[in-house]
Amino acid sequence: MIRVAMTGVYVDDVARAHAFYTEVLGFETRLHRDCGDGTLFVTVGAPDGAQRDLQLLLEPGQGPVAEPYRRALYEQGIPCIVFSVDDLRAEYDRLRALGVRFTHPPRVQGPVLAAVFDDSVGNLVQLVQPEQ
């Protein structure tokens, strides 16, 4: 069986992204390697998740392909990734209290309650909670 193992998000600064995604969002570090040339290979995942769970690779977002792609998504207000939460309003309040800037507060969008925030390293991220 084929499974999704990892997906990447281009970021301005891998070290800053690692701090934001772990200290603010609450992910845990799965892999943190210095590649020896000043490049970090960093993945994060859901807390207490199994090592086989989906990992998020925090990738350097510079370069002729990554930078224009990331900038275009951001300028169009398109989130680069979507995360699911059990209680979006509580998570919205928690993250705002930590200084996270939201581009739109929780609102119903089709079958989900959704909000979008700036991850502080060049991306918009959407949080969703299925409507019940």
The structural domains of the chain, ordered by start, are 6-130 (3.10.180.10)
State residue 100's pLDDT score.
98
Q: What is the reported pLDDT for 39?
A: 84
Does residue 100 sit in helix, strand or coil? coil
pLDDT by residue, tens only, the chain of 132 residues: 888 889 999 999 999 999 999 999 999 999 999 888 878 899 999 987 766 688 999 999 888 999 999 999 999 999 999 999 999 999 999 999 999 999 999 999 999 999 999 999 999 999 999 986
Sign of the Cα pseudo-torsion (93, 115, 61, 45, in order)? positive
CB atoms under 10 Å from CB of 4, counted, come to 8
